[in-house]
Each structure stands twice: as structure tokens, then as C-alpha cells.
Amino acid sequence: MDLLLLSEYILLASLTIFAIATIRIATRKTIAMGLVGVTGLSIAVATILILIQNMYNISFCKEIAYALVILGPVGTIAFSKVLRG
């Protein structure tokens, strides 16, 4: 087994644990912790998609990851503006 492939699998496992942790953060009672959790989850999922695209040559994963990276902060900013009033 190639060392690069092994490190990609280790990174994939650690990103999965990070995604589960951000889901736990997102289910807290405050709105701010929910926003932090959802933003962290979108970053983790985008990174997982880029990693899957590099490992298995699935071309549409990159476009979905770019959309998540761009629309995640835009949604967070819009939601905070609505909450502020």
C-alpha cells in the first residue's frame, strides 16, 4: 500500500470524526454554537469531497465542494444579519 493512499485514508477517518464532533456542536442550545457547528460541518464535508475526488477520480465532487465552501459563509452572514435585525 502506498504511503500517500494510507495518509489519505487516515485523513478521511479524522475528518469523519471532526464531522461528528461538529454535529454535536451544532445541536447546542445557542444559535451561535449552531452556526459554528454548521460552518465546521460544511468545511469538513467539502474537504472530504475533495479527498474523494482525488482518491477515486469522481469529477462532480469538486464542484459540490466549491459550492459548499462558497455558500456556507454566505449563508452564515445572511442568517446573522437577519438575527441582528
Residue 50 to residue 55: CA distance in whole angstroms? 9
Query: Quick check: 44 and 15 in contact, CB under 8 A?
Result: yes
What digits encode the pLDDT tens for the residues 12-54?
999 999 999 999 998 988 888 888 888 899 999 999 999 999 9
Note the pLDDT of residue 80. Answer: 81
Check: CB of residue 24 under 8 Å from CB of residue 38. no
Q: How far apart are CA 61 and CA 3, in angstroms?
A: 23
Contact 48, 12 (CB under 8 A): yes
pTM: 0.83
pLDDT exceeds 80 at position 61: yes
**Confidence band (pLDDT; 50, 70, 90) for 79?**
confident
